[in-house]
Amino acid sequence: MENTFTSEPTTNTITLYRELFSQLNLSKYNSSQLLDLAALSAEQAEGLCHGLMLCGDLMQNKPAPR
């Protein structure tokens, strides 16, 4: 894998994850390794969903001041 490091900060962790994942050559992995990658992706998506639900709950329980 080539070095694509830049000194500019990544906008968010989702973008970083997508950039890292897009650099993988999936043809190099066997089916077991691909299943592991799929599980990691599912965990990331689940974490994002939980974070969004928490954010929504916090916004409902503590409305913005007027």
Residue 46 in any domain: the answer is yes
Residue 2 in any domain: the answer is no
Residue 16 near residue 10 (C-beta atoms within 8 A): yes
Predicted pLDDT at 65: 67
Residue 7 in any domain: the answer is no
0.85 exceeded by the pTM?
Answer: no
User: What is residue 13's DSSP assignment?
Assistant: H
As for how many domains the chain has, the answer is: 1
DSSP letter string, 14-50:
HHHHHHHHHT--GGGS-HHHHHHHHHHHHHHHHHHHH
Residue 52 in any domain: the answer is yes
Predicted pLDDT at 57: 85
User: What is residue 62's DSSP assignment?
Assistant: S
Residue 49 in any domain: the answer is yes
- pLDDT, one tens digit per residue, over 8-65 is 665 777 787 788 888 989 899 999 998 998 888 888 788 888 888 888 888 888 766 6
Residue 47 in any domain: the answer is yes
Range of the domain at 53: 13-61
Residue 55 in any domain: the answer is yes
